[in-house]
């Protein structure tokens, strides 16, 4: 079968574009830890303040050295407003909303999740660089959206 030169060039170019697209997905998934939301756990959005899963808001150290952060997003603040976690340890966030959809993005890290009323948002990450990080709400949630922020402090290992 004869394939003309220009046709062959286009075939190679199209295959290269597909390979690059799949490559970016592979790098994002395997090297950068990007994942689609996959934790389906529901909660009564009217009862988050009395739900035992969210009774102890804050940072909790687990027996294996990992850390769990439990928090609630609401108009227009995060509860707790400041989170302190150790560097280099696995940190699992468990978040929910008391009212509308909020965002939870830790600027300069790969932590970025939607916080949807009725659901528990859960994801894990590791913060390698000690320092202070800004947490912002990146889903428009009302008049005070632009003031909704928190602080993450990553502390160097003891
Ligand atoms: Cu909460 Cu925007």
Per-residue confidence in pLDDT tens, the chain, 158 aa: 888 999 999 999 999 999 999 999 999 888 877 766 667 889 999 999 999 999 999 999 999 889 999 999 999 999 999 999 999 999 999 999 999 999 999 999 999 999 999 999 999 999 999 999 999 999 999 999 999 999 999 999 75
Q: Which atom of ligand 1 is nearest to the CA of 148?
A: 1
Distance 101 CA to ligand 1 centre (A): 7
Ligand 1 centre from 139 Cα, in Å?
5
Residue 52 CA to ligand 1 centre (angstroms)? 24
The radius of gyration of the chain from alpha carbons, rounded to an integer in Å, stands at 20
Q: Is 105 in the pocket of ligand 1 (CB under 6 A)?
A: no
Rounded to the nearest angstrom, the distance between the alpha carbon of 41 and the centre of ligand 1 is: 21
Round to whole Å and give the CA distance between 141 and 139: 6
Tell me, using a 6 A CB cutoff, whether residue 10 lines ligand 1.
Answer: no
139 touches ligand 1 (CB under 6 Å): yes
Q: How confident is the model at residue 1, as a pLDDT?
A: 84
What local confidence, expressed as pLDDT, does residue 121 receive? 93
Give CA 63 to chain center in angstroms: 23
What is the pTM (predicted TM-score) of this model? 0.78
Quickly count: other Cβ atoms within 10 Å of residue 91's Cβ. 23
Cα angle, residue 114 at apex, residues 110 and 117 outer, rounded to 5°: 155
Give the number of other Cβ atoms within 10 Å of residue 145's Cβ. 17
């Amino acid at each position: 079968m004869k394939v003309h030169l220009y046709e062959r060039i286009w075939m190679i170019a199209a295959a290269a574009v597909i390979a690059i697209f799949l490559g970016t997905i592979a790098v994002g998934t395997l090297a950068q830890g990007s994942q689609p939301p996959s934790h389906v756990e529901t909660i009564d959005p009217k009862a988050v303040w009395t739900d035992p899963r969210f009774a102890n808001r804050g940072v909790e150290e687990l027996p294996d050295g990992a850390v769990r952060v439990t928090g609630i997003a609401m108009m227009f603040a995060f509860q707790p407003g400041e989170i302190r976690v150790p560097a280099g340890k696995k940190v699992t966030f468990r978040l929910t909303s008391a009212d509308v959809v909020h965002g939870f993005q830790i600027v300069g890290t790969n932590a970025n999740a939607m916080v949807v009323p009725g659901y528990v948002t859960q994801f894990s990450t590791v913060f390698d660089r000690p320092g202070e990080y800004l947490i912002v709400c990146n889903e428009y949630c009302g008049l005070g959206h632009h003031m909704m922020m928190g602080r993450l402090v990553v502390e160097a290992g003891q």
